[in-house]
Amino acid sequence: MDQPTDVMPPDRSAHDGLAMPVHLLGHHLYEYSKGVRPMIMMTLSTRDADTVTRKLAERFVDYHVQMVTEAKVNVFFGNPSCVAMVRSVVRKPLNQLTPEEDFILGTLLGYDREQQCRRFLAMAQARRSGAAT
């Protein structure tokens, strides 16, 4: 299918480079304040993470930063007990979490419970199959 040539992606520099993460942060903080989700995770550039964590600290919202690469981080924030759980469970890259750790994290982030159960079962089955070889 041909793609239109006159449609361009938004120019990030037109929004000072931080508008999108800050806009998303506002939305996430609103959901958190209304009790929609107890915890949120944002994957950001390290530069954007500095701005986001400063705003979280100003609002006394607990957070934890996990390095992904030299240029990217995951920022987890929300209820202090949820963030404490992340600090104790997420000690390695997310793609290396055990099925149990992945389930806990997905549940804390408010992902669909049934989908998390199916994901857990698939990961556990794959782990059992890999261990049997």
6 residue type, one letter:
D
- Model pTM score: 0.79
Tally the C-alpha atoms within 13 A of residue 106's C-alpha that lie toward its C-beta: 19
pLDDT of residue 66: 96
Residue 87 has pLDDT above 70, yes or no: yes
Predicted confidence at residue 130, as pLDDT, reads 80
Radius of gyration of the chain (CA): 18
Q: CA–CA separation, 79 vs 62, rounded Å?
A: 7
User: Per-residue pLDDT for 28 more than 90?
Assistant: yes
CA distance 89 to 101: 6
How many of the other CB atoms lie within 10 Å of CB of 86? 23
Amino acid identity of 39? M
Give the residue from 74, 105, 78, 107 showing the smallest Cα distance to 89. Answer: 105
pLDDT band with cut points at 50, 70 and 90 for residue 132: low
Q: How confident is the model at residue 56 (pLDDT cuts 50, 70, 90)?
A: very high
DSSP code per residue over 4-17: PSS-----GGGGTT
11 pLDDT above the threshold of 50: no
* Domain at 17-78, CATH homologous superfamily: PG1857-like (3.30.2190.10)
Q: Where are the domains of the chain?
A: 17-78, 92-133
